[in-house]
Amino acid sequence: MKFNKIALASAMLAASSMSWAGCQIDGRVSIIGNEFPAIQAVAANAQECTGGEIASNLTADHQKLNVAGMQGNPAEYTSAIVANSSIVALMNEDVVRPLGDLVAKHGQGIKKNQLITINGEIMAVAFMANAQHLVYRSDMLAEVGAEVPTTYEDMLATAKKLRANGIAENPVGGAYAAGWNLAQEFNNMFLGYGGEHFKAGSAEANVNTAAGVNTLNMMKALSEYMNPDFLTHDSNATNAEYRAGNVALMNMWGSRAATLVTVDGVADEVKNGFAIAGPMTVGGGSTPASTLWWDGWTIAKNISDADAEATFIAMANGIAPSQMDAEMAPLAVWLIDGYEPTDKAKGVFAAAGAGTIPYPMLPYMGLLHTAIGNELSDFMQGKESAEQALSDIEAAYTAAAKEKGYL
Amino acid sequence: MLFAKNSGWKLRLFNRSFVILWLVIAAFPFLWTLWGSFKVELDFFSKEDWTSALTGVRTLVQHGSTITGDGYQGAWIEEEFWRASFNTMLVCFFVVITSLTIGTLGGYALSRSTHNYTFWLLITALIFRAMPPITLVAGYLLPFFEWNLWGHLSTTVVVLVAINQPFTLWMLHSFFTKIPKELDESAKVDGCTQFQAFRHVIIPVMWPGVITTGLFSFLLAYNDFAITAILLSKENQTMIPKIASFLGTTQTEGNVMFAVAAVVSATVPLFLLVMFFQRQIVSGLTAGAVKG
Amino acid sequence: MKHKTFFWFILPTVAAMLLFIALPIVSVVTQSVFTSHGAVLIETENCGPFGCKVETTIDQKATAKLREEQPLGRFSGLDIYFDRGHLAVNEVAQAWHESAGVGDFLGQLNNLPFYRAMAFTLTFTFTVTPLMLAFGLLIALSINSLHQKLKGLAIFFSLLPMIVSPLIGSLVLFWMIDSRGILGNAIQWVFSDPDLSLKASTSLTWMMLIVYGIWHAAPFSFVVFYAGLQTVPQETLESARIDGASKWQQVRYVIVPHLMPLVTFVALMQLMDNFRVFEPIVGFNSAAHATSLSWFVFNDLSGETRQLSSASATSVLTILGVAVLLTPVLIRTWRDFTAKRA
């Protein structure tokens, strides 16, 4: 974090001293988004533009604010920075505008694959990618002579060896905290088993299937090798286990790989043994058991065209290829032209290269995600069968989807 | 005073040991946090062995000493925590003043009126308080954005005052009921209006109740997260949402030690406050006024 | 007091509450009986950095028309209250008909989120409230008998459980009770079971939350009772002493009756706060073992798709639950009130 902050500060310094020529706006810009360093860097770059007022509100609570802040007319926020899971909420409320004409006019620096197109209309411009992938301890694996696992079955076998040889009591780490984290692990594994979350062409949940049962059994098997408190471990707690040297294998966010061992006080063996690899497959499938994510910006619908244009110019400046320098590069896995992946980014790149499925950008995916997170913990504690858990998920989802008018 | 010096030694022993036990239970987590705030994260939240938090082995490796002020430096200098503490001071000050002013008037009136509607007013206030604050806040967002009220400290102060009013009202009401009616009745007989009676007779004797209520209003405003996190813009953020922002999210790294250092430093003004007001809290209105 | 005087005294506080609590409650109740419009869904091809895919989206034009016709949404009556996420009437009826016995029925009931949450909420409320009252009174009596100089310090330390932000307080405690934390280790040592983990078992998690609840709330009753103790009429106490009343009798017959209005007040507030228990559940990450109504509201509002109607319905149910819970205390207050008038 500290490393990031310093990097960020110098990124801003470098960026401002460059004072990119040609970024002249004529209108109001107001950005809302999450607060992590990569997004702060983008917002800081956007604020280099001159000629209009540019405000930003970067906070972890952005998802609670963005819809309300864009519903008014004129909207408080002219741009919201979102991910593929959260753009859905803005699309559902119809508060973001198509960007086709603005991209044609001012989108010179933007690569084609950065454009998020929904129903033929450009709705967002992506600038960074993320995915969960394997993080392991090369020294611990070497001790038992294990290869780097490429499947979850390998991971189980390696975990068994590590425990049997007394190298680690609970060698597997996983963000299995009941709620969002647990549901995300379910999604990864479910997609790895070839599952489809919904019946084709409808909003009906489709998790009570063979793939669903396999998914739960695999998660249960993995949890046997985790710290017994795994249902309370979110990704922060899981990383803490890794840093303390208790964990040898875990599925972790690419965005957290860069800082995993740079925190003060990490022991040398953990630092030296730290290694990352692409996401694993499961059940003989070829699709990795992971999801791909992007972060990008949108532009509000309920603002004047002049403000929209100003916002587009400023945001495009925020992610312009000329901004990409040594300070900005390590902050994220950028999708921006001219970005050279760092070592820590190879897990995310491997995920994209191996055909990992992007997190579904569906209006009702959020509801299913919540339902999974709430209903799985009984199964993970061995209190109910996999079938019962899956039918509970479907029942909880159905009630929520009816309320929101999807069923 | 109850259980005073002349009570039996067994009782006194029990009393003393109970106080000590309670103080240990109450203060231990805080003292532990205070000590830990000078360590690196891996020591304080050690997943290896709990003794590292005491000995600071990793801190020693990293900083060449078993204590480090990095957390404090990071929070106060790099992250400009002072800005947030200034905002908190403003919010707390105005919340306490406003809720006590309007709450005292209301609580006094409720305790002196004998009409049926006072009872129903109290019940309604109570029902109002049952509403989970997050639902309320979700409802505020749209109109606040629409009328450009969102993000300001003053809006948050007003909302905090309103949301805490049922509590303030009930608490002051129960304190005022204990102040004998005869006091202001006799003032009114002497020709005072209701307000003059309140001003000259009640105000001088109401302080213990008011200060206790004020203490809770202060703590509510000081510790509020649900409202301040949603209603304040970044530059107006108070301490608690700022601390929350140090913790990171699922996909992003935080800096827990900044948060720990911030929490410890946030407790200092409270320490001073309680020490400053201890005479009021301790001695109360023992002298003269209320003799039951 | 005259109506007019009363009106002016009460006006500011009532105005604040009407504007910021009553109005939102009206809108919450409205929201809970309306649901979103049926979304018109279409299949579209969506593209992004990771290629193109056929996905479902909402047909905004068609949906916007529906919205314009009925801005509040579809009227659904009490449907949301009765669906599986709330009172689950159909599921309960089904469980009643199919279950083999009472035990089986309760088991099936426990699989429904609302009833599972109620089981914890009620247990929590009815253990924490009496215990914190007793504990608070004991602390107040003990600290009151301390030397004047020590009181300030003792009060400050007693307040700490309330002062330290739950955000960090729970983080630190969460670590302490970890199986490798200081308290976790101590408990393992006490029960000489090295595998004991508070966080992995439902019953231990409940106990932990209850202990935390008492610890966190005791300062509140302590301070209120402490302030009340300062006004205990010394003459009554003195005459009781002369009549040969023991310490216990003095507490029982003089002090407790004097503090009774405050006890009622603290009990009211605590019943309500404990019924809305929320922060420790989030702080201790214990949603796998224990949930509450407030946690549902939080969960509905914090997902990627916010379920406003569902959160509103849960909020209304919370208010109703509190009203039922407080009835006995309210009846008591009413009696006091009429007695005061007489």
Tens of pLDDT, residue by residue over A26-60, are 999 999 999 888 999 999 999 999 998 999 999 88
In this predicted structure, what is the pLDDT of residue A156?
Answer: 96
Chain C CB within 8 Å of residue A392 CB: yes
Asked if A250 and A380 sit in the same domain, the reply is yes
Asked if A284 and A175 sit in the same domain, the reply is yes
Chain B CB within 8 Å of residue C146 CB: yes
Taking CA–CA distances from A175, the nearest residue in chain B reads: B250
Tens of pLDDT, residue by residue over B174-233, are 888 878 888 888 888 888 888 888 888 888 888 878 888 888 899 889 988 889 988 998
- Is the CB of B285 less than 8 angstroms away from the CB of C326? no
pLDDT at A2 over 60: no
Tens of pLDDT, residue by residue over C99-118, are 888 989 998 898 999 999 99
- Is the CB of B136 less than 8 angstroms away from the CB of C20? yes
Angle CA(C142)–CA(C146)–CA(C148) in degrees, nearest 5? 140
pLDDT at C285 over 50: yes
- Cβ neighbours around A326 below 10 Å, total: 12
- Is the CB of A235 less than 8 angstroms away from the CB of B45? no
Domain extent, residue B164, equals 90-283
Nearest to B161 by CA among B62, B91, B114, B246: B91
Q: In 3-state terms, chain B is what percent helix, strand and coil (to 5)? A: 75, 0, 25
Tens of pLDDT, residue by residue over C174-212, are 888 888 888 888 888 888 888 888 888 899 999 999 999
Q: Could you tell me which residue, A140 or C250, shows the higher pLDDT?
A: A140
Tens of pLDDT, residue by residue over C312-326, are 999 999 999 999 988
pLDDT at A8 over 80: no
- Is the CB of A264 less than 8 angstroms away from the CB of B41? yes
**What letter would DSSP give residue B151?**
B
Asked if A365 and A235 sit in the same domain, the reply is yes
Torsion C225-C266-B21-C215 (CA) sign: negative
Asked if A204 and A242 sit in the same domain, the reply is yes
Torsion C193-C199-C202-C207 (CA) sign: positive
Q: Which of C39, C179, C302 lies closest to A363 in CB terms?
A: C39
Tens of pLDDT, residue by residue over B222-270, are 988 889 988 998 889 999 889 888 887 777 777 888 988 988 888 887 7
Asked if A121 and A147 sit in the same domain, the reply is no
Question: Is the Cβ–Cβ distance between A287 and A326 less than 8 Å?
Answer: no
Confidence class of residue B141 from pLDDT cuts 50, 70 and 90? Answer: confident
Task: Quote the CA–CA distance of A256 and A344 in Å, as a whole number.
Answer: 9
Q: Which residues contact A181 (CB under 8 A, 6 or more apart)?
A: A175, A234, A235, A373, B250
B139, part of any domain: yes
Confidence class of residue B282 from pLDDT cuts 50, 70 and 90? Answer: low
The predicted model gives A2-6 an average pLDDT of 44
The chain-wide mean pLDDT, for chain A, equals 90
Q: Which residues of A touch B145 (CB under 8 A)?
A: 68-69, 71-72, 76
| Region for residue C322 given its phi and psi (left: phi exceeds 0; alpha: psi -120 to 50; beta: otherwise) | alpha
The predicted model gives A364-375 an average pLDDT of 94
Confidence class of residue A80 from pLDDT cuts 50, 70 and 90? Answer: very high
pLDDT at A21 over 80: no
Chain C CB within 8 Å of residue A118 CB: yes
Chain B: partners with 3+ C-beta pairs within 8 Å: A, C
Tens of pLDDT, residue by residue over B112-121, are 888 888 889 9
Asked if A136 and A113 sit in the same domain, the reply is no
Instruction: Supply φ then ψ for residue A209, to 5 degrees.
Output: -130, 180
B47, part of any domain: no
Domain extent, residue A32, equals 2-130+293-353
C331, part of any domain: yes
- Is the CB of B138 less than 8 angstroms away from the CB of A36? no
Domain extent, residue C200, equals 115-341
Chain A CB within 8 Å of residue B135 CB: no
CATH code where residue C208 lies = 1.10.3720.10
pLDDT at A242 over 50: yes
Asked if A257 and A376 sit in the same domain, the reply is yes
B207, part of any domain: yes
> What is the domain count for chain B?
1
Complex prediction ipTM: 0.90
High-pLDDT (> 90) share of chain B, %: 25
The predicted model gives A211-220 an average pLDDT of 97
CATH code where residue B133 lies = 1.10.3720.10
C82, part of any domain: no
C281, part of any domain: yes
**What letter would DSSP give residue A129?**
E
Taking CA–CA distances from A376, the nearest residue in chain C reads: C288
B268, part of any domain: yes
- Is the CB of C288 less than 8 angstroms away from the CB of A118? no
Asked if A189 and A286 sit in the same domain, the reply is yes
B57, part of any domain: no
pLDDT at C40 over 90: no
CATH code where residue A82 lies = 3.40.190.10
Residue C191 to residues A299, C175, C177: CA-CA distances in angstroms? 59, 19, 14
- Is the CB of A384 less than 8 angstroms away from the CB of C111? yes
B142, part of any domain: yes
Confidence class of residue B66 from pLDDT cuts 50, 70 and 90? Answer: confident
Chain B CB within 8 Å of residue C330 CB: yes
Residue B230 burial by Cβ neighbours in a 10 Å radius (0-12, 13-18, 19+): buried
Task: Quote the CA–CA distance of B179 and B181 in Å, as a whole number.
Answer: 6
Nearest to B79 by CA among B262, B206, B211: B262
pLDDT at B286 over 50: no
Q: Which of C55, C80, C199 lies closest to A403 in CB terms?
A: C80
Tens of pLDDT, residue by residue over C114-165, are 999 999 999 999 999 999 999 999 999 998 888 777 887 888 888 888 877 7
Tell me which amino acid residue B154 is.
Answer: S
pLDDT at A14 over 50: no
Asked if A172 and A298 sit in the same domain, the reply is no
Asked if A174 and A230 sit in the same domain, the reply is yes
In this predicted structure, what is the pLDDT of residue C231?
Answer: 76
B51, part of any domain: no
Chain B CB within 8 Å of residue C261 CB: yes
Question: Is the Cβ–Cβ distance between A29 and A46 less than 8 Å?
Answer: yes
Q: Which residues of B touch A71 (CB under 8 A)?
A: 142, 145
Residue B11 to residues A66, A226, C139: CA-CA distances in angstroms? 60, 50, 14
In this predicted structure, what is the pLDDT of residue B283?
Answer: 52
Bridge partner residues of C42 (DSSP): C57
B29, part of any domain: no
In this predicted structure, what is the pLDDT of residue B268?
Answer: 81
C288, part of any domain: yes
> What is the domain count for chain C?
1
Tens of pLDDT, residue by residue over C58-83, are 888 888 888 888 888 888 889 999 99
- Is the CB of B292 less than 8 angstroms away from the CB of C152? no
Length of chain B: 292
Asked if A36 and A100 sit in the same domain, the reply is yes
Chain A: partners with 3+ C-beta pairs within 8 Å: B, C
Q: Which of C27, C152, C224 lies closest to B274 in CB terms?
A: C152
> What is the domain count for chain A?
2
C217, part of any domain: yes
Question: Is the Cβ–Cβ distance between A216 and A154 less than 8 Å?
Answer: no
Asked if A123 and A57 sit in the same domain, the reply is yes
CA B289 distance to own-chain centroid: 28
**What letter would DSSP give residue B252?**
B
Chain C: partners with 3+ C-beta pairs within 8 Å: A, B
High-pLDDT (> 70) share of chain B, %: 92
Q: Which of A126, A335, A405 lies closest to C36 in CB terms?
A: A405
A221: part of which helix (H) or strand (E)? helix A210-223
- The reply to whether the predicted model has a pTM over 0.80 is yes
Confidence class of residue B281 from pLDDT cuts 50, 70 and 90? Answer: low
